[in-house]
Structure 1
Amino acid sequence: MAAYETSLSTGLHAMRAAEIWLHERSGDSPSIRDLANYLGYSEAQIRRNFNRFFGISPGRYRDSLRLERAALLLCRTPMQVLDIAISCGYRSHAIFTRAFHGYFGVSPSDYRRRFHDRLRKAIPRRAPETLTVEMRKEACCFLTRHYGDVPMKEQPSLWRHYAQRWQHHLKGCEVERTWIYHDDPNITPAGRVRIDFGFKVEGNCMAPPAIGFRQVLLSSQRQVKMCVAGRENVAGAVAYLLYEWLPTHNEWLSGEPVMVTWWENSSPHAALEKFELGVPLLTIH
């Protein structure tokens, strides 16, 4: 699937809405009929247009979302395989294991082990400037979705491409430049990685979203907040969190999306940019 740019095309906006609808309900096994009813299309129109824009049928896309979500939970949380299967919409361990093996070529347990073995060796670890645990407050964001993995060094430029031209719609509001990672490119195929670019809005800003943007309300969330200097150090800071900090603090990631806030410095040197990463933690009752 190609990386699609923001467009005024009604068809593209509708299929982006279809993809987001499937994504947000991936654990509930949504039907294509329900999706068609939601958008006011026929099932045939949904199947034809979705395949046209994303290169895959909506049914196969829905199934891939469930399995990639399961893989993310295997790699980022301590959840048992059966609990992951149920949370991703599978009725039994056997049905889930068969589907997972058919998609990834290995069992869920082997996938979890191989993933960690590979990443421990591959990513250099670098401690962030600061690392704290806190509750993220409820927040309102205006976001637009990008499809396709992008190197971290290019993401600020991509944020400008999507968001800067719409910033005047939020004139008078206190905003922070934000993007949200929904996928791990080590799990999800690079062309299908989803990143939301936009703004986190403070206060009671009621500005309507610009064309191509949607309003998203984020609930409060316990998280690790890391401050990283220089975009080239982000991957190393995440590796440090996964393989050094978490094991020694009896904490686990929840598998929910990671939020990045970009504090751009007036200097042209990338090393002086600051990135604040909010990584959701698992809350164990």
Structure 2
Amino acid sequence: MNINLNYIEVFCHLGQNLNFSQTARELNTSQPAISRKIKLLEDELGYELFVRSNKTTSLTLKGQAFLDQVLPSFNTISGAIHNKEQKIDLKVGSIFEAGEKYLLSALNDLHENERIGHFDLQFDSAINLIDKLQAGELDIIMTHIIPAQKSLSFFEVFRDGTYLVGPKKEDGKRKRKLVTYRNEDLYTEEFLHKTLGKNWRSKFEIIGCVNSHKAMLSLCEAGGHFCVVPESSFNNSGGLKIYKKKDSSHGIYICVRQNFLENRDTKRLIEELINCLK
């Protein structure tokens, strides 16, 4: 007798949960496909494995005996294959601060637990990360921008607050010096408009921009500037003061290509990564 191992896999899943729909979801297939494989296995064995009714599914006596016989061996084989497949090498990208503070720790945990093999983490702007992900240069990215491309999927992992920070002692000038993330920093302008009102420009003078939140905070501490930064970027060393705070201002997302989720092992890995971050 030469039985297809895929039929055994289907039988072991169904024999444990006794639910055709759940088995189909677990194996990323359709319910008719599950029914067909069980029927083919029963034809090979020469006896029925399940008693089916409109509302319930149960094992026959021979079905239970067969499950007791094959399940330990199947679990051993499945575990060996699963462990081998799970050591996936990943190319990961992230906006700098959230990646350094959260994503790197989660990836290290997965690596130490032998869930992933080697991973390469690079930092870039959200727009560049999305372009690289879509081009296949990266497998996973962490960003605060929801991608518009239909080929990409995103999952919110947490909400990030926003701070207006500056020196503890102000110099008494009428306008405060404000440094931004880019020339047209809509993130900063939207935050100041919502928290200080439409006349916020009468209180701040934008004097320049830098390319990282760390550099912005350094200017604030060393030069008496102000800046608007995500909560995930701000680690107060004692030289700065929070002037305005807004909770849950935007989401932080894990993004992947949709075809990356079609593989059951990589889909499971994404779920574990998201759980590590939440």
TM range (shorter): under 0.3
TM-score by length of 2: 0.21
TM-score by length of 1: 0.20
Of the two, which has the highest radius of gyration? Answer: 2
Structure having the higher strand fraction is 2
